Amino acid sequence: MVQRDIDVEALYQVTHERKAGELTPCLWTGKIRDSDKHECGAKVFVKFKDAIKFGNVDSLISSMREVDVNHLFYIEGTHRVSVWGSTWKGRAHTALQWSLLFGDIEIFKILLMDDRIDVNKTTSPLHSLLVVAAVNGPARARFYELLFIKEKLDTASPLVYFSSCPVVLPEEVRFSESICLAAVKLLLKTKGVHPNTAISDTTTALYAASARGNVHIVRALLATDLVDVNKATMEWVTVNGNGFGTNDNVTSPLRACANGHRLVVESLVAQSDIAVNEPNSSGATPLLQVASNGDVDLVKLLLRQPGIDLNLQSKSGTAPLFAASSKGHVEIVKELLQQSDIAVNTAEYSTGWTPLHGASHLGFVEIVKLLLEHSKIDFDEASNQGNTALKNVLRYSTSEARDEIVALLTKRKRDFDRISRGLPLPTPRPAAGSPIVRRSQRKTKRTKK
Instruction: Please report the beta strands in 88-173, taking only residues with DSSP state E, as ranges in sequence order.
Output: 167-168
347 band by pLDDT with thresholds 50, 70 and 90: very high
Question: 62-65 — which CB contacts under 8 Å span 24+ positions?
Answer: 64/15, 64/95, 64/110, 64/111, 64/114, 65/15, 65/17, 65/18, 65/24
Residue that wins the pLDDT comparison between 124 and 386: 386
The gap from C-alpha 192 to its chain's centroid, in whole angstroms, comes to 25
Inform me whether the pLDDT recorded for 414 exceeds 60. Answer: yes
- On the 0-12 / 13-18 / 19+ scale of CB atoms within 10 A, 420 is exposed
pLDDT score recorded for residue 430: 57
CB 363 within 8 A of CB 400: yes
| Residue 389 confidence (pLDDT) above 90 | yes
Lowest mean pLDDT among 3-17, 134-148, 366-380: 3-17
CA distance 191 to 194: 8
Phi, psi at residue 244, to the nearest 5°? -125, 150
Report the DSSP beta bridge partners of residue 167. Answer: 175
What is the tens place of the pLDDT at every residue in 149-187? 887 888 888 898 889 886 544 443 456 777 788 889 989
Please name the amino acid found at residue 36: D
Phi first, then psi, for residue 246 (nearest 5°) are -120, 145
3-state SS, residue 251:
strand
Q: What's the rounded mean pLDDT across residues 290-297?
A: 98
Given a contact cutoff of 8 angstroms between Cβ atoms, the answer to whether 378 and 346 are in contact is no
Rounded CA gap, 318 and 153, in Å?
A: 45
Handedness of CA 332, 333, 336, 338 (dihedral sign): negative
Mean pLDDT confidence for 404-415: 89
Tell me whether strands 232-238 and 174-175 are parallel, antiparallel or unpaired.
unpaired
The answer to whether the beta carbons of residues 99 and 106 sit under 8 Å apart is: no
On the question of pLDDT at 40 being above 70, the answer is no
Q: What is the mean pLDDT of residues 218-222?
A: 97
Is pLDDT above 50 for 238?
no
Using CA atoms in the order 404, 407, 409, 414, what is the torsion angle rounded to 10 degrees?
-170
Rounded to the nearest 5 percent, the helix, strand and coil shares of the chain are 50, 5, 45
Between helix 389-396 and helix 355-362 the angle, nearest 10°, is 30
Q: Which residues contact 342 (CB under 8 A, 6 or more apart)?
A: 310, 311, 321, 336
Q: Round the average pLDDT of the chain to a whole number and report it.
A: 81
84: helix, coil or strand?
coil
The interaxial angle of helices 330-337 and 365-373, nearest 10 deg, is 10
The pLDDT of residue 31 is above 50: no
For residue 280, what pLDDT band results from cuts at 50, 70 and 90?
very high
Mean pLDDT value across residues 88-112: 84
Q: Are 260 and 295 in contact (CB under 8 A)?
A: yes
CA–CA separation, 127 and 105 (whole Å): 18
CA-to-CA dists, residue 86 to 49, 90, 91, 128, 172, angstroms? 20, 9, 10, 16, 11
CB-based contact 174:216 (threshold 8 Å) = no
- DSSP strands (E only) in 221-320: 232-238, 244-251
Q: Are 50 and 102 in contact (CB under 8 A)?
A: no
Report how far residue 208's alpha carbon sits from residue 155's, in angstroms, rounded to the nearest whole number: 15
The pLDDT, as a whole number, for residue 102 is: 85
Res 26 pLDDT > 80 = no
Biggest CA-to-CA distance, the chain: 128
Q: What is the pLDDT of residues 304-315, one digit of tens each?
A: 999 999 999 999
Which domains occur in the chain, in start order? 1-125+133-150 (no CATH), 155-235+246-275 (1.25.40.20), 297-429 (1.25.40.20)
User: Mean pLDDT: which of 21-30, 229-238, 377-386 is highest?
Assistant: 377-386
